Structures are given as C-alpha cells and as structure tokens.
Amino acid sequence: MDKLIITAALVGAEVTREDTPHLPVTPEEIGKDAFEAFQAGASIAHIHVRDGEGKPTQSRELYEAAIREIRKRCPIIIQVSTGGAVGMSAEERLQPVSLRPEMATLTTGTVNFGEDVFYNPPGEIRRFADTMAHYGVRPEFEIFDSGMVHTALQLVREKRVTGHLHFDFVMGLPGGIPATARHLLLLVDQLPEGATWTVAGIGRHQLPMAALAITLGGHVRVGLEDNLYYRKGELATNARLVERIRRIAGELEREVATPDEARQILRLNPQGREG
Ligand code: KMH
Ligand code: ZN
C-alpha cells in the first residue's frame, strides 16, 4: 500500500464560529491551523476562505492571503475549494483557480445538500475542468454520490482531465451517498486502475470511514469542515483530528506520507507553484 495521505479540511463553508470556537476564519488563522495539521501528519490542506464577518466567500484576494500564510509556515499541499458554498455562481467559485494552486476540488454532479441543492450541471462541470486544465491545476474529484464517478470518467474520456486521477468520496452527507462499507466498496470498484482515493466521512461517520480507508489502501480526509467533534460532546480541533488518524494508522502499520511523498503518490510537481 502507498503511504497514507491525510487531508485536513480546515474551514469549509457551512461551519460557523458559533458552532465551534476552534474554526479558523482569517487568513492568519488558516495558516496557523494548516501548520498545526501539517505537524500532526497532514500532507494536504483543503481550504475555503471567509470574509471579515466569517461568511464563506471565494474571493481570490482572500485565498491569496490564506495561501501566503500557509506557505510562510509549511510545505503542505494546498488544495483550494471550487465548491465554495451552496448558491454561489460558477464565476465566483472558480476565482482561486487562477492562483495556480497545486490542487482544486471538482464536484462532478448535483446533489441535495441537506435542505439545499449543491448545483453542478454538466456544462459547468466541463467549464470547471477546462479552467483547471488551463491553469495547470490538478483536480480532486469530489464524489458525493455514485453517478458522479461516471461523470468524472467522462471528463477523462473527453481529455479534459489528464494525468493521475484522484477521487475524494464524501460520504454520509444527508442527500448524498450513505457512509457504509458497502457503499465505499461500490465507489472504489468503479475506479480505473491506478487511481487513488480518499474518504471524507461527514459528522460521526468521519472516524469509522477513515478506519476503513486506512485498511483498504485509500487515504483519509478529516477536519472541521466535515466534523466538529472529537467524540460525542467534545469539540475537536483540526490538529487533534489529524493526530488521531496518524495514531490509528501507526497501530495498523500504515505509514503517513509527508507532503513530498504525497506529491509523488499523486504525481504532482515536486514543489508547490503558487508561491
Ligand atoms: N460547501 C459545499 C457546498 C468543495 O469544497 O469542493 C461544497 C464543498 C465542496 O465544500
Ligand atoms: Zn470543501
């Protein structure tokens, strides 16, 4: 098995400071949390940014500031969100891609998102893929339901996405694919030879799905974007969630990848280019 890539989803778009005081909101806080997650064993930081009021935004300037704060502190792989928040336009969501981060997320379908709809029609998906190709940004396919793998592979057939393929299975979101071992295997079975995958279990599903991914040869995403709690009734920090995965992986004799080792596994360039 490859070494384990741990992604820290530090911020997200839905969680608020009222939900948890541990949520990083300013670029400096995001930089500090990325550093702590890196020290704890994360090799990818999946980031969103927030405005002065803590609301989700896809502002290029704020992403630039957050990336600068992360880069000052550590060589973690930076993966920007193009999902943004429900209701944002494609233009808005695509802003951080022009910063040429090493990676960006690419959701390949529409899904009910609790009581909302996370809208990703085929034409927009192609536009997102083409914009990432234009700026040389590696997509991570965000798979909220099984049909989205089909659409991702359609982009590959159309040569809109080339090179190594990496998928993130977001499981247990109300409206998306359930977080069960059976559903995970269904997703993994659809992937082409050589593709890599990560599991992001939502809420209480984070830990059991991570344990499954570690043993099956997948990779793991944890963080406050997906789950606020370390255990029932006890709020987490990003670093503690990452540390726990490193500890469990150690017990299962799966080594954890450094950012450069993750770059090799994902066939990224040896070093971040976004400055
Ligand atoms: N906030 C969700 C609507 C991504 O980062 O690409 C979308 C999301 C996925 O978080
Ligand atoms: Zn996200």
Which runs of consecutive H residues, i.e. helices, occur in the chain?
27-40, 60-73, 90-94, 122-135, 147-157, 181-189, 206-216, 238-251, 259-265
* Whether the CB of 81 sits within 6 Å of ligand 1: yes
Q: What is the 3-state secondary structure (H, E, C) of 98-128?
A: HHCCCEEEEECCCEEECCEEECCCHHHHHHH
SS3 at position 7:
strand
This model's pTM is above 0.95 = yes
Contact 207, 201 (CB under 8 A): yes
**Mutation to probe ligand 1, out of 93, 107, 140 (largest number of atoms < 8 A from CB):** 107
**Mutation to probe ligand 1, out of 7, 105, 132 (largest number of atoms < 8 A from CB):** 105
Q: What are the structural domain ranges in the chain?
A: 6-266
The ligand 1 atom at the shortest distance from the C-alpha of residue 170 is 9
Give per-residue pLDDT as tens, 176-193.
999 999 999 999 999 999
From atom 7 of ligand 1, which residue's Cα is the shortest distance away?
A: 83
Angle (CA) 42-110-135 rounded to 5° is 55
DSSP character string of 32-76: HHHHHHHHHT-SEEEE-EE-TTS-EE--HHHHHHHHHHHHHH--P
Q: Compute, in angstroms, the gap from residue 84 CA to the centroid of ligand 2.
A: 7
**Mutation to probe ligand 1, out of 47, 80, 81 (largest number of atoms < 8 A from CB):** 81
* Whether the CB of 118 sits within 6 Å of ligand 1: yes
Q: Compute, in angstroms, the gap from residue 82 CA to the centroid of ligand 2.
A: 8
Q: Terminus-to-terminus CA distance in the chain, angstroms?
A: 32
* pLDDT at residue 274, rounded to an integer: 52
Look-up of token digits 């709020």:
235
Report the C-alpha gap between 81 and 66 in whole angstroms. 13
SS3 at position 220:
strand
Give per-residue pLDDT as tens, 85-141.
999 999 999 999 999 999 999 999 999 998 999 999 999 999 999 999 999 999 999
**Mean pLDDT per 10-residue run, the chain (275 residues)?**
98 98 98 98 98 98 98 98 98 98 98 96 98 98 98 98 98 97 98 98 98 98 98 98 98 98 93 51
The CATH superfamily label for domain 6-266 reads Aldolase class I (3.20.20.70)
Report the C-alpha gap between 261 and 259 in whole angstroms. 5
